[in-house]
Structure 1
Amino acid sequence: MPDTVRTILVAAATAVVTTAAAGLLVIPRLEARKKRLVEVHAARDAFGAHMLRIISACAQLQNIQLPAADDPDWTPVLRERLAGERERWWQQIDDATRWLIDNVATYATSWPMRHLIEMPITYAGHARMVVLSEREEATKLELLLELTVPVQRQYFGWLGSRARHIAADNRAFAQTIARLTAEPTAP
């Protein structure tokens, strides 16, 4: 009987020590890692959301132009409201590119391969510079779409779409970057 009690006490003590050690050493590390992973994935999700906002706002700005000043179908109030909407869309683009450049270290460095890290860094910097440039509006919109669509598809597109378009997306992105670095920023 004493051997049985001793075995039970040793087993209980081992369980208490193991649980205490895990609670003090292992669990805090796992919780810290979990917090970092949640932050990385939230930043990746925000990266994708900001690119979609840029694509959407660019499309709206391209498709909905201000009418001519002498167009009789448009009242001054309606023209002013449309101008306000267009300004709001530009503000969304400005806010999105500002977020992209301010948070690039969080989301870009979370991917495992060098190419997957460099593309978002290059994208964020060039997209922000396009918005800040003195180019004409139509040129800015064209460049932002040429920069954003390939990156968005490669990071957040359907897997089949990514595989099918990888070469074309990389080529289009590289050509747009080459165009941006070759031309002056003034109109």
Structure 2
Amino acid sequence: MVAAVTAVVTTLAVGLFVAPRMEARKKRFGEVHTARDTFGANMMRIISVCSLLQRIELPPADDPDCTPIVRERIAGERARWLQQLDDATLWLIDNVTTYAGSWPMRHLIRLAVDYAGHARAVMLSEREEDTKVELLLALTVPVQRQFFGGPWSRARHLFADHRAFAETLTRISGEPTASLV
């Protein structure tokens, strides 16, 4: 009888107190990992879109090999890619508290926060389109490698990535006052 009562009380206690806390914890961990995955996906989107924008330029209006329709289509694609950059940097800054705080080391948290803030500031600035693309690429590549590269890649490029990131921040801050940062 004592064993049965003990089993019922234990089951009831676990069901009422432990299981809900474990489910809530599981949900929080899932949200953090989803945010980390989206952080990585947005950085890859920024890298790929910047590469496309650098490779596919709008042909001059007087280019005989380009019809006005093709020129308009290329301009439309470039506008769509720029909107993707805007959306990606918007997500980065809006969700920085979710993914940045999930890393255990203070320097990684600071790197994620600095990256998100500066990437968004570059998109909001009055810089030329080509300069924005160049700066976003220079900001994103070293940060992406430090968060999502393999362990050997992270270790091998640690100092070079941090130096490149710091140099890009200096370049952003040193540009004319038309920029936000």
Q: Which band: TM-score by shorter chain? A: over 0.9
Q: Does 1:131 align with 2:131?
A: no
Shift of 1:104: 0.6
State the distance in 1 between where 2:94 and 2:135 align: 20
Picking from 73, 79, 103, the partner of 1:81 is 73
Report SS of the residue matched to 2:64: coil
State the distance in 2 between where 1:110 and 1:147 align: 21
**8 Å contact kept, 1:55–1:145:** yes
Equivalent in the alignment of 2:12: 20
Q: Which has the larger radius of gyration?
A: 1
State the distance in 2 between where 1:59 and 1:153 align: 16
State the distance in 2 between where 1:139 and 1:82 align: 19
Equivalent in the alignment of 2:101: 109
Report SS of the residue matched to 1:20: helix
* AA at the equivalent of 2:164: A
Q: Give the percent of matched residue pairs that are identical in Structure 1 and Structure 2.
A: 70
Picking from 43, 61, 83, the partner of 1:51 is 43
State the distance in 2 between where 1:147 and 1:183 align: 15
Shift of 1:56: 0.6
Q: Does 1:171 align with 2:140?
A: no
Report SS of the residue matched to 1:12: helix
* AA at the equivalent of 2:108: L
Shift of 1:183: 2.2
Equivalent in the alignment of 2:136: 144
**8 Å contact kept, 1:133–1:185:** no
Q: Does 1:99 align with 2:91?
A: yes
State the distance in 2 between where 1:173 and 1:94 align: 20
Report SS of the residue matched to 2:176: coil
User: Per-residue CA shift, 1:159-184, capped at 9, x if unaligned?
Assistant: 22111111111111111112212222
How much is the aligned-residue C-alpha RMSD, in angstroms?
1.1
Q: Which runs of 4+ in 1 moved over 4 A?
A: none
Shift of 1:154: 0.6
Equivalent in the alignment of 1:32: 24
Pairs aligned (count):
179
State the distance in 2 between where 1:73 and 1:177 align: 40
Structure 2: gaps spanning 5 or more residues? none
* AA at the equivalent of 1:48: G
State the distance in 1 between where 2:134 and 2:80 align: 18
State the distance in 1 between where 2:92 and 2:98 align: 10
So what's the TM-score if we normalise by structure 1?
0.93
Picking from 135, 146, 154, the partner of 2:146 is 154
State the distance in 1 between where 2:165 and 2:65 align: 41
Structure 1: gaps spanning 5 or more residues? 1-8
**8 Å contact kept, 1:43–1:106:** yes
State the distance in 1 between where 2:137 and 2:150 align: 19
